[in-house]
Amino acid sequence: MKISVCQINTIVGDIKSNKSRILEGYKKGVNDNADLVVFPELALLGYPPLDLIEKKEFRNAVIKAADEIAEQTQETGLLFGSITEDNDLIGTDVHNSALLCFNGKIQFVQNKTLIPNYDVFDEMRYFDPAKSVDIFEFKGEKLGISICEDIWNDADYWCIRRYSDDPVNRLIKKGATILLNISASPYAYRKRGDRMKMLSVLTKGNHIPLIYVCYVGGQTELIFDGASMCFSSNGELVKMGKLFKEDYFIFDTNQNYPKIETVERCFEEEIIDAITFGLKEYCKKIGFKKVLIGLSGGIDSAIVTYFAVQALGKENVNVIMMPSNYSSDGSIKDSEKLVNNLCVTAKVIPIQPLFENALDNLKPIFNDAPENIAEENLQARIRGLYLMAVSNKFDYLLLATGNKSELAMGYCTLYGDMSGGLSVIGDLYKSEIYSLVKYINKGEEIIPNEIINKEPSAELKENQKDQDTLPPYDFLDKVLKMYLEDNKECEEIKSILGNDKDICRILDIVDKYEYKRRQAAPVLRVSTKAFGYGRRYPIVQGWRKN
Residues 121-154 as b/e (b if ≥16 CB within 10 A, e otherwise) read bbbeebbbbbeebebbebeebebbbbbbbbbbbb
Q: How far apart are CA 245 and CA 198, in angstroms?
A: 23
75 given a catalytic annotation: no
Q: How far apart are CA 9 and CA 247, in angstroms?
A: 9
Q: How far apart are CA 81 and CA 92, in angstroms?
A: 18
Amino acid occupying residue 393: K
Which among 6, 123, 141, 148 is annotated as catalytic?
Answer: 148
CA dihedral 73, 75, 77, 81 (to 10 degrees): 20
Residue 93 is classified by DSSP as -
Which among 2, 6, 19, 112 is annotated as catalytic?
Answer: 112
Amino acid occupying residue 543: W
β 2-7/247-252 pair status: antiparallel
Q: How far apart are CA 486 and CA 288, in angstroms?
A: 36
Q: How far apart are CA 217 and CA 195, in angstroms?
A: 18
Q: How far apart are CA 341 and CA 449, in angstroms?
A: 12
Nearest to 238 by CA among 224, 215, 254: 254
User: What are the helix and strand counts (H, E) for the chain?
Assistant: 16, 19
148 given a catalytic annotation: yes
Which among 2, 6, 19, 41 is annotated as catalytic?
Answer: 41
- Give the chain's radius of gyration (CA, Å): 26
Q: Is 523 helix (H, G, I), strand (E, B) or coil?
A: strand
Q: Residue 361's Cα: distance from chain center in Å?
A: 43
Q: How far apart are CA 525 and CA 96, in angstroms?
A: 24
Q: What are φ and ψ of residue 333, in 5° steps?
A: -65, -40
142 given a catalytic annotation: no
Q: Is 349 helix (H, G, I), strand (E, B) or coil?
A: coil
Q: Is 347 helix (H, G, I), strand (E, B) or coil?
A: strand
- Provide the residue count of the chain: 546
C-beta separation of 271 from 189 below 8 A = yes
Side by side, the strands of the sheet bearing 105-111 are: 105-111, 94-102, 77-85, 36-38, 2-7, 247-252
Q: Residue 123's Cα: distance from chain center in Å?
A: 17
CA distance to 275, 276, 308, 420, per residue, from 344 (Å)? 19, 17, 10, 19
Surface-to-core class of residue 474, CB atoms within 10 Å of its CB (0-12 exposed, 13-18 middle, 19+ buried): exposed
Enzyme catalytic residues: 41, 112, 148
